[in-house]
Chains A and B, each alone.
Chain A
Amino acid sequence: MHASAQQAPSPTDAAPAPGAVSLAGVSKKFGDFTAVEALDLDVKPGEFLSMLGPSGSGKTTVLRMIAGFENVTSGSIHLSGTDVTAVPPHARQVNTVFQDYALFPHFTIAENVGYGLRVAGVSRAERATQVGVALEQVRLSAVADRLPHQLSGGQRQRIALARALILRPQVLLLDEPLGALDKQLREEMQIELKQIQREVGITFIFVTHDQEEALTLSDRVAVFNNGRVEQVGTAREVYEFPATEFVARFLGLSNLIPAELSADGAQSSVRPERVRLLTADTAASAGTVSLLGTVAETVYTGPTTRFLVDTESGVRVIAERANDHHPSAESAFARGDRVRVEWTTDHASRIG
């Protein structure tokens, strides 16, 4: 149970690091289907790590293996330096916020939040105190006696968070916790999540398919595809320097530049906002890749305008410009205009 799991890792462990999660060579097969393949991933104590990927990329399966809901087919999982590969979920010192919250429908909100303490044998009075504090933390003290179905989606989400955090886990696992919320509420909850994570200072492992959410929240992002991790890095690293074509495409818009047009002779990726759009008579600058072309389409997105440029070398390049001119003025370039697109060579990321 949690009470016993609260103890420090055994002295035989080389580096007891509360909140560290380490996956080594973890694979998961469902029948013939390989959901996760030979995965190595190290999560640092207190880190906010997002596992980002499309549905079916294996990210949720990895989360469920860390929680213990799924057995690994091979490999090992260490929590805080202790091998927990064979430890059942109820004995692991991690807690989970589920995608659909998984609140117990027959328990009041207070009973839901206090469930873990009840399991651990905490006295009724002590439970009431701790539940009170937990509900205050998520600003929902007023709904303590209601049933889950009487709450809104956002409220249920916060209750699920309170229920998981009350046990003071070393690691909190979040399975697309904001997926069911509308956009505005989701953005509010993102800020709240980040604040709570800073307050409690524990490791958060966050599963999402929303790249913006992953970039906004995380210290590091692990990008999943087909049961493998394509790249792990800070938000800036994975966005600005995608290591693979998949990462470049999955995280926002990207221009994939073939090897023969790249400076160092390898395929590279350039973000549209790194592409400068100039009049065709401008001379090419040094240290850039510079191409002539025609504007095929302009797309107004509000804060920016995107220009789709068909270059003479046959590659379509997207350039994105901030709309920083006078709000009522049209963009400087229109469809059919002859233009030059160029980007500084070290703004491009070489992809494997």
Chain B
Amino acid sequence: MNRRAQLSALLALPMLWLIGIYIFSLVMLLVTAFWVTDPFTSKVKPGFTLRNFEQIIANPAYATTSLRTLGIALAVTALSILISVPLGIFMAKVASPKLRAILAVAITLPLWAGYLVKILAMRITFTEDGFFNSMLGPLGISGPGFSIVTVVLTLTYLWLPYMAVPVYTAIRQLPPNLFDASSDLGAGAGFTIRTVVLPLIKPAIIAGSIFTFSLSLGDYIAAKFVGGSTQMIGSIIASNINLNPPIAAAYSLVPIAFVVIYLVSVQRTGALERM
């Protein structure tokens, strides 16, 4: 075989996948957003209209849902960072090797269980007479019930590994001498974390945040099962998938736009090259 044929053989399947399935479906999504639905038969007809987008912009429910979803995704990301950084420092710098291994398993555990299993676990935890209320009720604390707060907690529970693992890995890879050097020069733990650790693990935090942010933006199952009346972008897309595919397609472009804006804004930090 000559080089050309070898290259073709190497790339045939991935290119078929990338262009045939991946790109094609995304393009079709984009195209469908401009198609029309026959109001009488609910049949989708190819064509070109901006009505789907007009509808989305005109109806304030779409805008508030977009903002709510964005807020939830940002909250999940922030909460994941707040948990992952101290946890990573503890695991990498304080914990014994045995405890470190136990924690590593505990953190990645959610990745091994099915998605619905985890949602169910959270539902059982936060339901009216669930664990949360029965444990803390006697102390006068009542849980968030099924609400936007529970959606944030559930999504954090689901996506935390995607933040915790890269952050922990980055902290472990910091030369131990840097901690000694900072301490040697008079800095306490807090100062060292702020001036040395955080700047050096920023690429890992950004890498993790891309996952927590984009996975949260696209989710609607959590909202459906533990969110009470909370609606996310995904909830609206899901309910329109059969009724009005063009509207669903048009609305799908909103989270895609959010993610693109996010990626562009973090791209300049150089974090993407490290993923």
Q: Residues of A with Cβ closer than 8 Å to B? A: 1-2, 67-69, 88-91, 94-96, 98-100, 102-106, 115-116, 118-120, 163-164, 167
Contact status of A100 and B177, CB under 8 A, knowing A105-B200, A106-B199, A106-B200? yes
Docked complex: B232-264 residues within 8 A CB-CB of A: none
Q: Does B99 contact A (CB under 8 A)?
A: no
Q: Residues of B with Cβ closer than 8 Å to A? A: 175, 177-178, 180-188, 191, 195-196, 199-200
User: Among A90, A100, A103, A118, which residue has its beta carbon within 8 angstroms of that of B184?
Assistant: A90
Q: Are A102 and B180 in contact (CB under 8 A)?
A: yes
If over half of B's interface residues share one DSSP class (helix, strand or loop), that class is named, otherwise mixed; here it is helix
Residue of chain A at shortest CB distance from B181: A102
Query: Top 4 nearest A-B pairs by Cβ distance?
Result: A102-B177, A116-B185, A102-B181, A119-B186
Q: Are A119 and B175 in contact (CB under 8 A)?
A: no
CA distance A114 to B187 in the complex (A): 13
Nearest CB on A from B161, distance (A): 27
Q: List 5 A-B contacts (CB under 8 A).
A: A68-B183, A90-B187, A98-B181, A119-B185, A120-B186
Q: Are B183 and A102 in contact (CB under 8 A)?
A: no
Q: Are B184 and A115 in contact (CB under 8 A)?
A: no
Contact status of A163 and B185, CB under 8 A, knowing A102-B180, A105-B200? yes
Contact status of A69 and B180, CB under 8 A, knowing A100-B175, A106-B199, A106-B200? yes
User: Among A88, A104, A106, A167, which residue has its beta carbon within 8 angstroms of that of B181?
Assistant: A104
Residues of A within 8 Å of B178, CB to CB, are: 102, 104
Residues of A within 8 Å of B196, CB to CB, are: 104, 106
Residues of B within 8 Å of A120, CB to CB, are: 186
Nearest CB on B from A316, distance (A): 44
Best-buried of B181, B183, B186 by chain A (most CB within 10 Å): B186
CA distance A116 to B186 in the complex (A): 6
Q: Are A89 and B184 in contact (CB under 8 A)?
A: yes
Residues of B within 8 Å of A94, CB to CB, are: 184
CA distance A115 to B186 in the complex (A): 9
Q: Are B175 and A102 in contact (CB under 8 A)?
A: yes
Known: A106-B200, A119-B191. 9 other contacts (CB 8 A): A69-B180, A103-B181, A106-B199, A115-B182, A115-B185, A115-B187, A119-B185, A119-B186, A167-B185
CA distance A62 to B11 in the complex (A): 58
Q: Are B183 and A90 in contact (CB under 8 A)?
A: yes
Q: Are A98 and B185 in contact (CB under 8 A)?
A: no
User: Among B177, B182, B186, B195, which residue has its beta carbon within 8 angstroms of that of A1?
Assistant: B186
Residue of chain A at shortest CB distance from B189: A90
Q: Are B180 and A98 in contact (CB under 8 A)?
A: yes
Nearest CB on B from A113, distance (A): 10
Contact status of A96 and B184, CB under 8 A, knowing A102-B177, A102-B178, A104-B178? yes
Residues of B within 8 Å of A102, CB to CB, are: 175, 177-178, 180-181
Nearest CB on B from A6, distance (A): 11
CA distance A98 to B199 in the complex (A): 21
Residues of A within 8 Å of B186, CB to CB, are: 1-2, 90-91, 116, 119-120, 167
Q: Are B182 and A95 in contact (CB under 8 A)?
A: no
Residue of chain B at shortest CB distance from A92: B184
User: Among B183, B187, B191, which residue has its beta carbon within 8 angstroms of that of A69?
Assistant: B183
Q: Are B177 and A67 in contact (CB under 8 A)?
A: no
Nearest CB on A from B183, distance (A): 4
Residue of chain B at shortest CB distance from A105: B200
Best-buried of A96, A104, A106, A164 by chain B (most CB within 10 Å): A104
Nearest CB on B from A107, distance (A): 9
Nearest CB on A from B173, distance (A): 12
CA distance A46 to B159 in the complex (A): 57
Residues of B within 8 Å of A89, CB to CB, are: 180, 183-184
Nearest CB on A from B270, distance (A): 12
Residues of B within 8 Å of A88, CB to CB, are: 183
Nearest CB on A from B172, distance (A): 16
Residues of B within 8 Å of A103, CB to CB, are: 181
CA distance A39 to B33 in the complex (A): 79
Q: Are B188 and A90 in contact (CB under 8 A)?
A: yes
